[in-house]
Each structure stands twice: as structure tokens, then as C-alpha cells.
Amino acid sequence: MTSKIKCISNCRLEETGFNYTMSLIQGKYKMFILYTLMEFGSVRFNEMQRYIGTISFRTLSSALKQLEADGLINRKEYPQIPPKVEYSLSERGKSLMPILDQMCEWGDQNRA
């Protein structure tokens, strides 16, 4: 344990992998979006909004754009009328799921 504390004390927090990971997933809904995609695979925008429930159109749209820009999700647009767009986890996003699963398990074990 001392080596971990020493490691943290010798660098600036904003230069750590922890900070980078948090920068990708922080925000009120990003982890909900990632979890929804993990559970349901490819999901359309309106389905995502229904699954999450309390998210506005604007907030969901913004979060999806950020997650796509960060390479955590894929956006697939189908050339049809009306337009059809599906979102899914990228390989990079899938690699983050074990961490989110552990957070979920910890929450289940520790909530009152």
C-alpha cells in the first residue's frame, strides 16, 4: 500500500491514468449510456432515451457525440428514410465494461 501512496505523491493527479479515465466517463449520464449499450447491444437514439428515462434530447445527443469522439462508442447511420442511426460499444468501450461492472458490484454490496 505504501508504494501506491508514494506513486501518487510523486506525480500530479491530472497526469494519471485515473484522471484520464474519469475524463472519459464523468458526466451525469455517460456511464448510464455505456451500461445501456453493454446490456442491449445496438441501440437507437429514442430507445436509449427510453431506457435511461430522465435524460433530455439535448443532453443525450451531446453525451453520445462526446463518447463517439472519445472512441468509446460507434455510430452507424443507415441510408434510408426516415433516417436510422444505431449506437454500440466500440472495442475500446467494451474494454471499459469490467471496470463499470466492478463499480456496480461494489454498489450492490455497500448500499444501505
Kindly report the CATH number that applies to the domain delimited by 28-107: 1.10.10.10
* Residue 21 predicted with pLDDT over 80: yes
Residues 6+ apart with CB under 8 A from 77: 83, 84, 85
Rounded mean pLDDT, 1-21 = 67
> Domains of the chain: which residue ranges?
28-107
End-to-end CA gap in the chain:
28
What's the rounded Cα separation, in Å, for the pair 48 and 68?
15
Per-residue pLDDT tens for 77-100? 998 888 899 999 999 999 999 988
Q: Highest-confidence range of 5-9, 40-44, 77-81, 103-107, by mean pLDDT? A: 40-44
Per-residue pLDDT tens for 53-85? 989 999 999 999 999 999 999 999 998 888 899
What's the rounded Cα separation, in Å, for the pair 74 and 66?
11
